[in-house]
Amino acid sequence: MTSPSQRPQFRSIEPVSLTRADARRMEAAEEFGALRYAQAMQIRKPDMGATWEEFLGSHIVFVARHSPVGRAHGLGFAGKVTPDDIEHVEKFYFERGADAQVDVCPYADPSLFESLNQRGFQVAEFNQTLARWILPGEKFVVQPANGIEVRRVKQEEAPMWSRLCARVFFEDQAPRFSDFFLPWAAPEHPLALAAFAGKEMVAVAGGLVVAEHKIAGFFGAATLPGYRGRGIQTAFMQERLRLAQQAGCSLAVTLTMPGTTSQRNVERAGFRTAYTKVVCIKRHPNSRGFVQVHYSE
C-alpha cells in the first residue's frame, strides 16, 4: 500500500499491493487493543491475573480464562517462527488454564503457519482486515437521522455504554459481561461514541488510537434493533474518522466477518479489504471451549 502523499488527493484508498510493513502496521490495531485492555484490567481487577509478554517483536496477551480478548498478535513479522517459539506461546496460555490462540496474517513469515501445524493448532475463524487512508485535508460529515445525537461517551455514561455493548454482542449472556467493555470507554480512548434518542442511549461504537503507529482501530459498533437503518453506523464511522484524523492518524483499520453487513457498511466509508487472516487455536487439555463474540453490528 502506497503512502498517502503518493495518492491522488480525491481518493482515500484503492485496492493496491501491500508491503509486509503495511500489514504489520495494520496488525497493531488489534494487538494494541488487546494489550491496552489487559493493562487496564491489571489495574482495575489485579486478582484476575491479566498479563502480557513481549515476544518476537509482538505481544502475547492474557486477560482471563474464556475471555474473548487475549491472543498472540503480530507473530512472524520479525523473522522466522520455530515450533519451540509456538511451544512457548502454548505454555504461556496453558499455565493460566486457557486455550492458546494465535492470529495469523498472510503477510507473516510462512514459518509461522508451518510451526503452528507442527504443534497441532487448528483454524478457528477467519477475519476480514479492512483499511482506509485518512488524508490530512479530508472532510467528514456526521449526519444521523433527525432526533439522533452522536457524541463521545462521558465518563459517567461508561457503565451504560458497556451494558449496551454486552446486550447486543452477548445477548442472553449479557449480564455476565455487563462491565466487560468498560476499559474501552475510558477517557484515554476518544473513539468511544454513543448515539442518543432523547436521553436514551440506542447505539455504541468503540475504537482506539495507536499513536506510535499513527493508526486508529475501529471496533464494537452496535445499534439496538429498533434504531437500525437510520444512518447511525454511518455517523459513527464519519465521527471516528474525524477524531482519528484530529489525533494525527493516517490509517484506519477494522475487522469484520467475511460477507457481513458490517463489511458492507465499512466499505461504504471507503475501507477496502487488505487481507483475510485466520485465528488458530490449540485447546487447553481441560478446555470446555470459550465464549466467541465478534465486535461488529
Q: 270 and 137: one domain?
A: yes
**Residue 228, domain CATH:** 3.40.630.30
Is residue 260 pLDDT above 90, yes or no? Answer: no
One-character DSSP codes across 156-189: GGHHHHHHHHHHHHHGGGGGGGTTTTGGGGSTT-
Please work out, in degrees rounded to the nearest 5, the angle formed at the alpha carbon of residue 270 by the alpha carbons of 264 and 274. Answer: 80
For residue 199, the SS3 value is coil
Residue 227 CA to residue 198 CA, distance in Å, equals 13
Domain count along the chain: 2
Q: What is the pLDDT of residue 9?
A: 39
| pTM for this prediction | 0.87
Q: Which helix (H) or strand (E) holds 264?
A: helix 261-268
**10 within some domain:** no
Q: What is the pLDDT of residue 171?
A: 86
Q: Give the tens place of pLDDT for each residue, 158-194.
A: 999 999 999 988 888 889 999 999 999 998 899 999 9
Query: How is residue 16 annotated by DSSP?
Result: -
Q: 146 and 270: one domain?
A: yes
Per-chain mean pLDDT for the chain: 89
Q: What is the pLDDT of residue 212?
A: 92
**76 within some domain:** yes
Q: 146 and 268: one domain?
A: yes
Domain of 210, in residue numbers = 133-274
One-character DSSP codes across 72-103: EESTTSSS---HHHHHHHHHHHHTTT--EEEE
Q: 160 and 264: one domain?
A: yes
Q: 108 and 148: one domain?
A: no
pLDDT band for position 277 (50/70/90)? very high
Contact 195, 215 (CB under 8 A): no
Q: 149 and 218: one domain?
A: yes
Q: Give the tens place of pLDDT for each residue, 114-163.
A: 999 999 999 999 989 999 999 988 999 888 778 899 999 999 999 999 99
Q: What is the pLDDT of residue 289?
A: 55
Rg (CA), the chain: 19
Q: Give the tens place of pLDDT for each residue, 8-60.
A: 333 444 545 689 999 999 999 999 999 999 999 999 999 999 999 999 999 99
